[in-house]
Amino acid sequence: MENKFYLTTPLYYVNASPHIGHSYTTIAADTLARYMRKALGEDKVWFLTGTDEHGQKIQRAADSAKSSPQDFADKTAAQFKNLWKALDISYNDFIRTTEERHIKTVQKVLDILYRKGDIYEGKYEGLYCTPCETFWLESQLLEGKCPDCKRPVEKITETNYFFKLTKYQEWLLGYLNNNRDFIKPASRYEETLSFLELNKLNDLCISRPKERLSWGIPLPFAPEHVTYVWFDALINYLSAVGEFDANDKYQSQWWPAQLHLMAKDILRQHTVYWPIMLHALGIELPERVFAHGWWMINEDKMSKSRGNVVNPLDMIKKYGLDAYRYFLLRDVPFGLDGNFSEEAIIKRYNSDLANDLGNLVYRTLTMIEKYFGGDIPDVDFSGLSGNKQAGDIMVKINNLRPLVYAALNNQDFGRALGGIWELIGSANKYIEDTKPWNLEKGKKEEELKKFIRVLVEVIRKVGEELEAFMPHTAALIEEQIGSGLIKKGAPLFPRIC
Ligand code: MSP
């Protein structure tokens, strides 16, 4: 398909409830999907999200909740779905790695790579802590003991299956050297490249013996082993949108993905394992992997064990969905880490939303009511009789769509919103400089009409461009000022004191 946009979020683990970090990636993806649907057409965009449900993390969480892993996964997957509903996420598909369509594809991939000789049987040797069921590296041990439970570790050897990453390292280096835009932001590209230049990859152990972990997809050629959760999970991007045919050729109307979105914590899996897996299968690579930064709380990583997770539902209850979406995408440049705090939300809310946007709309509607009885003046505002400020605003209006489009093509939400707010700022300044009450007193009706019309054009344009970021606000703007007769409502964003 020409000009299509296939976009993915990570598949989130179901061991714990979703928090603001998960909502960040998904809101960013939702904004891109909405924008691209407008730009390319509704049916040209496919937005995939879902949950990653196998592996030890989930097994353990289920054990401690005295539940079966499937029941546990069902419950948490439902929490993710509920959250996406509350955040108005317009995904096209939600894939769970326990679904048949996924299991089938994973087993097919394993089968193809095994037959090809890219997966082979070998011995895995490591230092294992039996109570914690964890392998440790020598360097991670504390005085030779498990760093978690402080008990002795054992050296164990077990049969496992390995994927030949080593065979493809040179190829991947070459690919990266020729495709600088494959990984964004540029700092993440450099990080991956230098990692590959400085380190020799080991083959990847892609199985776990069933006696140690049973919650996974059985290897088709060795059913006493299950698939390592990362090898399983990455394949979702294929299993959701296509199938392998009888000649082992992958068929899909959506693949290759235009964009895999995630945070920096899972960059390497997506820029080393995943491209090599695809290349070994003879499948085209995704166009881009973008890894954004982390939201921290008081400079600390958010996690259940630290007890500092923030529930997105609490935030939208307090500040409204659109303000929350706006804050996440505006406050920190996409790609960098940021510190999450309610003070920061309130600050953004009061200055950008209440003061700048809310006031512009409210003042303009009030003037239309006062001077024109609620009718938007119907004047030709194209020739603005040499008013430089109005002329500049019209230029900004015309340039806004290409500016936002270009920014979003680079996943630069801050620049896109910055462009929209620049127009809002110019319009507010135009009101202050023009002093419309003087026009009214001086009976300069034509000028007043044109002045109002320019403001209406600004607001309509802002509404249009904001739709993907803040769908409800855009709908309210459209409702209030979309037709010839205004419908003034309460201020869009009442100040928070
Ligand atoms: N299951 C794997 C991904 C498999 S993809 C085939 C996984 N899951 S996860 O639940 O841990 O989600 C990690 C992702 O959640 C991050 O890459 C990011 O998209 C999002 N975030 C989780 N915490 C975050 C922050 N504190 N800040 C920003 N994003 C965060 O890894």
Residue 48 CA, ligand 1 centroid: distance in Å: 15
What pLDDT is stored for residue 340 in this prediction?
Answer: 96
pLDDT computed for residue 384 by the predictor = 64
246 exposure class (CB count in 10 Å sphere: 0-12, 13-18, 19+): exposed
Residue 383 has pLDDT above 70, yes or no: no
pLDDT value of residue 305: 79
To test the pocket of ligand 1, the residue of 52, 239, 299, 411 to mutate (highest count of ligand atoms within 8 Å of its CB) is 52
Pocket test for ligand 1, best of 25, 30, 261 (most atoms within 8 A of CB): 25
pLDDT beyond 90 at 437:
no
Which of 28-32, 244-248, 383-387 has the least mean pLDDT?
383-387
What is the pLDDT, as a whole number, of residue 289? Answer: 98
User: What crossing angle do the helices spanning 169-178 and 274-281 adopt, rounded to 10°?
Assistant: 100
Residue among 15, 22, 26, 295 whose CB has most ligand 1 atoms within 8 A, to mutate: 22
Place of tokens 């592996």: 55
The model's pLDDT over 186-211, given as tens digits with 9 standing for 90+, comes to: 999 999 999 999 999 999 999 999 99
User: Does residue 182 contact residue 175 with C-beta atoms inside 8 Å?
Assistant: yes
CA of 13 to the centre of ligand 1 (A): 8
* Stated pTM of the model: 0.96
Ligand 1 centroid to residue 491 C-alpha, Å: 36
CA 84 to centroid of ligand 1, rounded, Å? 15
Nearest-CA residue for atom 22 of ligand 1: 21
How many angstroms is it from 22 CA to the middle of ligand 1? Answer: 6
- 345 confidence band (pLDDT: 50, 70, 90): very high
Strand partners, 165: none
The pLDDT of residue 303: 80
Pocket of ligand 1 (CB under 6 A): 10-13, 21-22, 24-25, 52, 233-234, 236, 262-263, 265-266, 294-295, 302
3-state secondary structure the chain: CCCCEEEEEEEEECCCCCCHHHHHHHHHHHHHHHHHHHHHCHHHEEEEEEEECCCHHHHHHHHHCCCCHHHHHHHHHHHHHHHHHHCCCCCCEEEECCCHHHHHHHHHHHHHHHHHCCEEEEEEEEEEECCCCEEECHHHCECCECCCCCCECEEEEEEEEEECCHHHHHHHHHHHHHCHHHEECHHHHHHHHHHHHHCCCCCEECEEECCCCCCCCEECCEEEEEECHHHHHHCHHHHCCEEECCCCCEEECCCCCCEEEEEHHHHHHHHHHHHHHHHHHCCCCCCCEEEECCEEECCEECCCCCCCCCCHHHHHHHHCHHHHHHHHHHHCCECECEECCHHHHHHHHHHHHHHHHHHHHHHHHHHHHHHHCCECCCCCCCCCCCCHHHHHHHHHHHHHHHHHHHHHHCCCHHHHHHHHHHHHHHHHHHHHHHCHHHHHHCCCHHHHHHHHHHHHHHHHHHHHHHCCCCHHHHHHHHHHHCCCECCCCCCCCCCCC
Average pLDDT over residues 294-311: 88
pLDDT at residue 110 tops 90: yes
**Ligand 1: distance of its center to the CA of 144 in Å?**
31
CA of 263 to the centre of ligand 1 (A): 6
Percent of the chain with pLDDT over 70: 99
The pLDDT of residue 46 is 98
Nearest CA owner, ligand 1 atom 18: 263
Task: State the distance from the centre of ligand 1 to the C-alpha of 66, rounded, in angstroms.
Answer: 25
Pocket test for ligand 1, best of 266, 294, 309, 337 (most atoms within 8 A of CB): 266
Q: In the prediction, which pLDDT does 228 show?
A: 95
For tokens 């040179």, the residue is 170
Mutate to test the pocket of ligand 1, among 7, 8, 11, 12 (most ligand atoms within 8 A of CB): 12
pLDDT for 301: 86
CA of 100 to the centre of ligand 1 (A): 24
Q: What is the pLDDT of residue 299?
A: 85
Residue pLDDT, tens place only, 443-466: 888 899 999 999 999 999 999 999
> Is pLDDT above 90 for 160?
yes
Model pLDDT for residues 120-151, shown as the tens digit of each residue:
999 999 999 988 878 899 999 999 999 999 99
